[in-house]
Amino acid sequence: MIARLTAIACAISGIVLAQPALALEVPVELEGAIENIVPSTDSVFVMGIEVNVPRSVPISTPTADINAVAAEVGASVGRPNIKPLVLMRRFRVDGVDVLPAQLPGRSDLGFIGGTAIITGTAVLDDATGALLSITADTMFAEPAENVILGGITGVNCSVPSCDATGDSLTNLGRPLLRLDDPRMPAVPVTDDLGFAIDLSLISGPLPSAVEGYYGEDSAFHYHTLAIDVGTTGTALLNQGAEVSIQRAQCDDQGGELDFEVRGATHDPSSGLVAFNDTATGAPLGDVDVETVIDEVTGQPTRFGTFRFRGTVDDPGGLGCPASITATFVDGGGVTAEAPVN
């Protein structure tokens, strides 16, 4: 009996000794070069650090929700369950590329060689401090974050988007090429109030701001371009009433949500703009629009601007909405939607 108890005690002792050391979980944020993307193991290597990016992790670029793009593009080729991470490297079916292997002006596959911002959790060995794993909660990626604040120096556009054969657009002498890849598509070119404009109706030079990346082809591939075309409104793509949201911010105060929303309208240049939670329709408040006065002529223009500040009760603790909708009440009820920061 004593021998048996001794054996059991030794076995228990062995089990205890074999248990792994305690692990310490710490929040992490990485921002750096993407060295490799391995969808088969759900891995992204950033600055030499391996990060696990499960299928459910939201992945975004400056202008796209990759999870949504993966679902849409995958369904179109009979692969509705394709991993979003596959699109960040190379998406092929039966050896044929579904999306271009390289983004325009680049030689690396997908977003390899670009920059990633990843938030998540690292697991460290509590005894040795060794890194055991990192799992992402969110991932943002882009080939590069290049910006030119300058001026449009050349315009030869035959269509509103300036992407027809023979069309050209330059900024400080650099060719501007519109991105049309669904993983990072260009949004409509706007004026400085956020309204889409017709590039075939403008001529340079004009002040501008452009975001995208500078490619190996010596061209600037843009996803966002804003041009100051003045206040006449002649270059507007839509000559009817519109409302824009240029910035939407929310601060969760715990039981209360503080909002600040800035934007503009045109045709008319005054009136009332109301705001709602896009998902629930819950009202957030409203604001009057102030007509913009032309700095040169001193005359009223077709445009108006607004700045809404309001506090909304949040007894359920739901927090800030993902996006808000602005409705231009005096503009026939036209709307605009924007994400909330």
**Amino acid, res. 16:** V
Q: How confident is the model over 89-132, as pLDDT tens digits?
A: 999 999 999 999 999 999 999 999 999 999 999 999 989 999 99
The whole-number pLDDT of residue 21 equals 55
Q: Are 129 and 140 in contact (CB under 8 A)?
A: no
Q: Across residues 7-33, what is the average pLDDT?
A: 65
Say which CATH number the domain at 333 has.
2.60.40
As a whole-number percent, the residues of the chain with pLDDT over 70 amount to 94
Among residues 110, 126, 142, the one where a domain terminates is 142
Are 78 and 177 in a shared domain? no
Are 122 and 186 in a shared domain? no
Residues 6+ apart with CB under 8 A from 53: 42, 43, 44, 59, 85, 118, 136, 139
Helix (H) or strand (E) holding 327: strand 323-328
Are 129 and 204 in a shared domain? no
Are 68 and 138 in a shared domain? yes
Q: Across residues 285-303, what is the average pLDDT?
A: 96
Domain count, the chain: 3
Are 266 and 320 in a shared domain? yes
The whole-number pLDDT of residue 184 equals 98
Are 32 and 110 in a shared domain? yes
Are 129 and 184 in a shared domain? no
Are 123 and 35 in a shared domain? yes
**Distance of alpha carbon 27 from the chain centroid:** 22
The domain in which residue 299 lies consists of 242-339
7 has pLDDT over 80:
no
Are 131 and 158 in a shared domain? no
Q: Across residues 269-292, what is the average pLDDT?
A: 97
- The two beta strands, 283-293 and 323-328, are unpaired
- In angstroms, the CA 314 to CA 326 distance is 20
2 has pLDDT over 90:
no
Which stretch of 16-20, 60-64, 290-294 has the lowest confidence by average pLDDT?
16-20
Residue 18 lies in a domain: no
Name the 3-class secondary structure at 1.
coil
Q: How confident is the model over 156-193, as pLDDT tens digits?
A: 999 999 999 999 999 999 999 999 999 999 999 999 99
The whole-number pLDDT of residue 20 equals 52
pLDDT band at 204 (very low <50, low <70, confident <90, very high): confident
What does the block give as tokens for 241? Answer: 């009433």
Q: Across residues 57-63, what is the average pLDDT?
A: 98
What does the block give as tokens for 77? Answer: 């080729």
Are 108 and 153 in a shared domain? no
The whole-number pLDDT of residue 152 equals 96
Residue 5 lies in a domain: no
Per the prediction, the chain carries an average pLDDT of 93
271 has pLDDT over 90:
yes
DSSP state of 280: T
Q: How confident is the model over 207-228, as pLDDT tens digits?
A: 999 999 999 999 999 999 999 9
pTM of the prediction? 0.88
pLDDT band at 9 (very low <50, low <70, confident <90, very high): very low
Residue 7 lies in a domain: no
- The two beta strands, 168-171 and 256-266, are unpaired
8 has pLDDT over 90:
no
Cis amide leading into 268 (omega within 30): yes
Residues 6+ apart with CB under 8 A from 25: 121, 122, 123, 124
Are 174 and 100 in a shared domain? no
Are 97 and 166 in a shared domain? no
pLDDT band at 19 (very low <50, low <70, confident <90, very high): very low
Cα-based distances in Å from 293 to 82, 103, 240: 52, 43, 20
17 has pLDDT over 90:
no
Task: State the Rg of the chain over Cα.
Answer: 26
12 has pLDDT over 50:
no
**Distance of alpha carbon 175 from the chain centroid:** 24
Among residues 110, 142, 174, the one where a domain terminates is 142
What does the block give as tokens for 38? Answer: 């391995």
pLDDT band at 15 (very low <50, low <70, confident <90, very high): very low
Q: Across residues 296-309, what is the average pLDDT?
A: 97
